Amino acid sequence: QTTYGPWRATIAWQRDERKRSSDTLPTEQYLEASVGRELLWGFGIDVAYQYARYARDDGTAGRSNAIVSRLGFQRAF
Q: Tens of pLDDT along the chain (77 residues)?
A: 999 999 999 999 998 877 766 666 778 899 999 999 999 888 999 999 999 988 777 777 889 999 999 999 988 66
Long-range contacts of 51-58 (CB under 8 A, 24+ apart): 52/28, 53/26, 53/27, 53/28, 53/29, 54/28, 54/30, 55/18, 55/25, 55/26, 55/28
pLDDT attached to residue 21: 67
* Rounded CA separation 39/32 (Å): 22
5: left (phi over 0), alpha (psi -120 to 50) or beta: left
pLDDT of 23: 64
